[in-house]
Amino acid sequence: MKIVISGSGEVGFHLAEQLVASNQDVVLIEKNPARARFVNDHLDCLVIEGEGSNPEVLAEAGVASADTFIAVSNLDEVNIVSCLVVATEFKVKTKIARVRSLQYRRSGILRNSLLGIDYVVNPEIEAARAIMNVVVHGATGEVLVFEGTDIQMRNIFVDKRSLMRGKTLREIRQQLNYNFIIAGIIRDDEVIIPHGETKIKEGDRVYVVSNKRNMERLFTRTGHRRHNLHNVVVVGGGKIGSYVTEFLLSTGRQVKIVERDYEHCKYLAERFPEVLVINEDISDEKIFEDEQLHLSDLLVTTTADEALNMLTAIYAKSLGVKRVIPVVNKSSYLNIADKLGIDVTVSPKASSVSAILKYVRRGNIKRVHSIFDGKAEAIEFAVSAESRIAGKMVKELQLPSGTLVVAVNRPLKGTQSKNFVPNGEFVIQAGDNVVTFAKAEQVDSLEELFLS
């Protein structure tokens, strides 16, 4: 599959990196010469220097033979025009644009078929959705949910007190007699697809798949007791903070917003009259005592300063705040968050990439989750009546090495469905929704297996 990406910022670079890892033919367009050289040195793909809305540059990038065009530059207008040019001058099946401005969305202009945009992705909205999902599930860790099911994938950090530490998967299953599967382990920057004799070590991040009921029981047994998150502090009243505040209020929670820009505080106070808006700099440690922020159940840091988000979360946790969620993009922050006592991080970059991958991956895909900075993916496939895997047992699928079938949702009559954590004897049926876990380099082979 050939994919042309315009823009090599955090989202574009990370998306290209992940697609290259899964053996896709990727071309990146970047107008900044220094950035183009950096990308060329760090990614195994063709890099074209130029503007993504220029027809000549698009032709040089080979858009005419591409399956997908993705515009993720920093300017909404350039992304919109780029898709318009591609739709007008070239025949490309799928065109995706990153658009941040709410004005464009509210005006309805993006629904105009003449623009040629098939799908629109907003990083702030995707990040806010991820935060909302985490909060709903108690903010005990990353939560991946799958469409129309109560199947979840969540991660557990294994510290020195964890009952998983030093035990094999087989021993853990015997001790925790619930229906769950350990899909993957992140250890020292490596993804491990485990088997029954794999031993869990301190410092591992373990990805577990089960239904909602069993997952709550499992988290309670492993020392991750769920708290009532009613009183919430949102640090930063920008787009993400505002979206999150809307959600929190809709669920009956009590919210305080800390924002250092006075004029923006006035806007927030008008928009959210039921919210206490505090015009202060969160880096002033006196604010926690003065405004009693340390008594909160949850603190979400959404400022544009990732280091400040991390430091604020760590400090709040040390003062006794039950749960903290910093918004960060840098891999270095994501990798050390567990060790610093941070409950869960949310990355706008990763959320956007996951949203885009749903439209890029082949097969009848319902949902894609990018995991651990793109080193693995959880993908939900829909099995059609014509699928080559319909009627086969899991052990007969000849799954690529480094992949697992971790859950199956089977629709029943009406709106009912049944969830399974399958073993090798489980038979896949037409109509099933199959959740898989795969290392990035095996995704292409996995897609091939699930193609109808």
Same domain for 108 and 138, yes or no, is: no
Structural domain includes residue 127: no
Q: How many C-beta atoms lie closer than 10 Å to residue 305's C-beta?
A: 14
Query: Look-up: residue for tokens 């941040």?
Result: 100
Same domain for 346 and 377, yes or no, is: no
Structural domain includes residue 424: yes
Burial readout 88-101 (b: 16 or more C-beta within 10 A, e: otherwise): eebebeebbbbbbe
Could you tell me which of 405, 432, 437 has the C-alpha nearest to residue 421? 405
Backbone dihedral region of 207: left (phi > 0), alpha (psi from -120 to 50 degrees) or beta? beta
Q: Measure the CA–CA gap between 161 and 158, rounded to whole angstroms.
A: 8
Q: Which domain holds residue 272?
A: 228-350
Q: Are strands 94-98 and 119-121 parallel, antiparallel or unpaired?
A: parallel
Same domain for 240 and 331, yes or no, is: yes
Q: Are strands 376-382 and 231-235 parallel, antiparallel or unpaired?
A: unpaired
Same domain for 324 and 386, yes or no, is: no
C-beta of residue 143 within 8 angstroms of C-beta of residue 135: no
Summarize pLDDT for 375-407 with one digit per residue, the tens. 888 988 889 888 889 999 999 998 888 899 999
Query: Look-up: residue for tokens 């005419």?
Result: 64
User: Does residue 201 have a pLDDT over 70?
Assistant: yes
**318-335 average pLDDT score:** 88
**202-214 average pLDDT score:** 90
Mean pLDDT of all residues belonging to the chain = 89
Per-residue confidence band for 445, with pLDDT thresholds at 50, 70 and 90: confident
Structural domain includes residue 274: yes
Q: Which CATH number does the domain housing residue 11 bear?
A: 3.40.50.720
Q: Measure the CA–CA gap between 35 and 158, rounded to whole angstroms.
A: 38
Summarize pLDDT for 340-369 with one digit per residue, the tens. 889 899 988 888 888 898 888 776 778 888
Token pair in block for residue 48? 């074209």
> How many angstroms separate the Cα of 386 from the Cα of each of 128, 363, 379, 435?
37, 12, 20, 19
Give percent above pLDDT 70 in the chain.
Answer: 96
Structural domain includes residue 129: no
**133-161 average pLDDT score:** 85
Structural domain includes residue 250: yes
Same domain for 239 and 342, yes or no, is: yes
Structural domain includes residue 128: no
Listed residues 350, 365, 399: the one ending a domain:
350
C-beta of residue 94 within 8 angstroms of C-beta of residue 119: yes
User: Does residue 279 have a pLDDT over 90?
Assistant: yes
User: Does residue 167 have a pLDDT over 70?
Assistant: yes
Report the chain's terminal Cα–Cα distance, integer Å: 16
Summarize pLDDT for 106-117 with one digit per residue, the tens. 656 666 665 788
**236-252 average pLDDT score:** 95
Q: E-strand spans in 279-322? A: 298-301
Q: Measure the CA–CA gap between 80 and 86, rounded to whole angstroms.
A: 10
Exposed, middle or buried, 383 (CB in 10 Å: 0-12/13-18/19+)? Answer: buried
Q: Measure the CA–CA gap between 331 and 16, rounded to whole angstroms.
A: 16
178: Cα separation from own chain's centroid: 26
Residue 257, strand partner residues: 234, 277
Same domain for 375 and 341, yes or no, is: no
pLDDT, position 1: 84
Q: Measure the CA–CA gap between 157 and 134, rounded to whole angstroms.
A: 16
pLDDT, position 312: 96
Structural domain includes residue 322: yes
Same domain for 334 and 369, yes or no, is: no
Same domain for 235 and 341, yes or no, is: yes
Per-residue confidence band for 21, with pLDDT thresholds at 50, 70 and 90: confident
pLDDT, position 365: 79
Residue 80, strand partner residues: none
Number of domains in the chain: 4
Same domain for 111 and 140, yes or no, is: no
Summarize pLDDT for 40-92 with one digit per residue, the tens. 999 999 999 999 999 999 999 999 999 999 999 999 999 999 999 999 999 89
C-beta of residue 135 within 8 angstroms of C-beta of residue 125: no
pLDDT, position 212: 85
Structural domain includes residue 126: no
Q: Measure the CA–CA gap between 148 and 189, rounded to whole angstroms.
A: 32
Instruction: Tell which wins on pLDDT, 301 or 334.
Output: 301
Listed residues 181, 199, 221: the one ending a domain:
221
Q: 3-state DSSP helix/strand/coil percent for the chain, to nearest 5?
A: 35, 25, 40
Q: Which CATH number does the domain housing residue 399 bear?
A: 3.30.70.1450
Q: Measure the CA–CA gap between 255 and 276, rounded to whole angstroms.
A: 7
